[in-house]
Amino acid sequence: MNPQVELLEPCGAMLTDVDCAQLDTALVTLIEDLMREHAVLVIRGKGHLDDEQHLAFSRAFGPLELPSARPNAHMARVAFGLYDVSNLGPDGEIADPDGPRAKIAKGNELFHADSSFNDLPSKWSILRGVIVTPEGGATELIDGRKVYDALSDASKARIAGLEVEHDYFHSRRKAGATVPSDSPLAPYMRAVHPLVRTSASGRPTLFVGAHAARILGMDEAESTALIEELLAFATQRKFVYAHKWQAGDIVIWDNRCTLHRGTEYDYRRYKRDMRRSTVNEGGEERSAIPAHLSLQMLSQPQAEAR
């Protein structure tokens, strides 16, 4: 192999001429180094990974956040350990475009950081394109370190030391889905993070996104206004890299310092089969949802799009 690296604007890098199914220490080190510097990495390698190869590749970089252990028909299409981020049912055909799963998936079109609502310390997401759309369906990404650097000194001083509660249900409501306020899952799907985090590179990063529900110690109106102001600043087009997928592509992003979203596509017309692993910083592999709640989730389709 002769790995080639191309910079992507305005953020990220593309790695080519590698075989992710033949992972060795040199390739692991190269990917870790590129991720530390760029936070977003597109791998357009030799051949296409299958699910088991995807899982083996991911585990080279840390333990996985596992999907819930609950029975889930559409997830049966993919190997356990991967999230099914598609519009397909268990038969491989397009699922009901008017069903609850499709409505919940609209939340993925808002800029967010995966699993920022979990107690597990998320590291990376690794998304693989199995079936891609001929139009639409791009993945857009933002490097929060560059966003923070672009803030005024006054804004940096204003947000220093603030903490934000991230809540999965908040982002689903924001996208228009109806979710219960008394869900037993709620305590397990929110977490607090600094508004300004330190990334793996040591650089400060703005950490907001659609899951950001409230700033601690601030009244609701002021908190909402500041979060929306920061999101509007962060999502300016000058900060956004839009990835147009080719089948077999792998896109990795660092959840600790990036935001991403999937863009619209013709859900009724095109199949889109994307499969994602989530890598944590450390600890054991487990679901963020306690096993004893798995059965209670059966009647709560809002949890499927996690």
Per domain, the residue ranges of the chain are 4-303
| pLDDT reported for residue 182 | 75
The residue-averaged pLDDT of 191-208 equals 97
Where does the pLDDT of residue 298 fall: very low under 50, low under 70, confident under 90, or very high at 90 and above?
Answer: very low
- Reported as a pLDDT band with limits 50, 70 and 90, residue 199 is very high
Q: Which residue has the higher pLDDT, 192 or 77?
A: 192
Per-residue pLDDT band at 75 (split at 50, 70, 90): low
pLDDT tens digits, residue range 26-59?
Answer: 999 999 999 999 999 999 988 899 999 999 999 9
Residue that wins the pLDDT comparison between 290 and 195: 195
* pLDDT > 90: percent of the chain: 76
Q: What is the mean pLDDT of residues 290-296?
A: 57
Average pLDDT over residues 263-271: 95
Helix (H, G, I), strand (E, B) or coil at 38: helix
**pTM: predicted TM-score of the whole model, two decimal places:** 0.92
Average pLDDT over residues 5-23: 97
Query: For the segment 163-180, what is each residue's pLDDT rounded down to a tens digit?
Result: 999 999 888 888 777 777
Mean pLDDT, the chain, whole residue set: 90
Cα–Cα dist 42/16, whole Å: 8
- The mean per-residue pLDDT over the stretch 8-37 comes to 97
* Cα–Cα distance measured from residue 210 to residue 299, given in angstroms and rounded to the nearest whole number: 24
**Lowest mean pLDDT across 17-26, 95-104, 130-139:** 95-104
130 versus 99: the higher-pLDDT residue is 130
234 pLDDT above the threshold of 90: yes
Class of domain 4-303: alpha beta
The tokens for 290 are 């306690």
pLDDT surpassing 80 at residue 70: no
Residue 3 confidence (pLDDT) above 90? yes
At residue 72 the predicted structure's pLDDT band, cuts being 50, 70 and 90, is low
The pLDDT value recorded for residue 198 is: 96
Longest dimension (CA), the chain: 56
For the residues of 93-151, what is the DSSP string, one character each? Answer: SBP-TTSHHHHHHGGGGS-B-TTTTSSS-EEEEEEEEEE--SSS--EEEEEHHHHHHHS
Residue 304 has pLDDT above 50, yes or no: no
| Distance of alpha carbon 293 from alpha carbon 130, whole angstroms | 31
- Side chain identity at 202, as an amino acid letter? G
Q: Judge whether residue 279 has pLDDT over 70.
A: yes
> What does the pLDDT look like over 99-127, one tens digit per residue?
877 777 777 899 999 999 998 899 999 99
User: How many degrees, rounded to 5, is the angle at CA 36 between CA 211 and CA 49?
Assistant: 80
